[in-house]
Amino acid sequence: LHSEFNHSQDEPVHLLQIWILPEERGLKPSYEQKAFPAEAKRNRLRLVASPTGGDGSVTVHQNVALYAALLDPGQTVTHELAPGRHAWIQVTSGALEVNGTRVVAGDGAAVEGETLLKITGQDASGSSEFLLFDLA
């Protein structure tokens, strides 16, 4: 069991809590925490979690690659999905166009049957931030 809450009596909190079930039961519990500066994910997909912990990502015991990005208005990133894989895109701030569909802060987009994702920043007032889950 686990829960998150705001310990401050004065400061508001805005968080996104993500649960990914492990690939098998009975794994030894572990914890990792890493900071990824804005410049590491500005106008590019930055791998932040993966099964192997590759490229400086945290390790997750599941067949998922999790990317974070911060897109300036008009900037585009692409991501190829291998056959049989699908994606979830969670927009945390701003607005995006994903393969021709507009999504805004708070939206989640399930993607199936696509081989290429084209994601463009659409917030004229600033950068848009999102997470991309490449899922089995």
Q: How far apart are CA 108 and CA 71, in angstroms?
A: 17
Six-digit token string for 46: 């930055």
54: three-class secondary structure by DSSP: helix
- In whole angstroms, what separates CA 114 from the centre of its chain? 18
Who has greater pLDDT, 115 or 3?
115
Count of CB atoms situated within 10 Å of the CB of 127? 18
Backbone angles phi, psi at 40, to 5 degrees: -75, -15
pTM for this prediction: 0.92
Mean pLDDT over each residue of the chain, to the nearest integer: 94
Model confidence over 22-73: pLDDT tens digits?
999 999 988 899 999 999 999 999 999 999 999 999 999 999 999 999 999 9
What pLDDT shows up at residue 2?
A: 63
Six-digit token string for 84: 């049989």
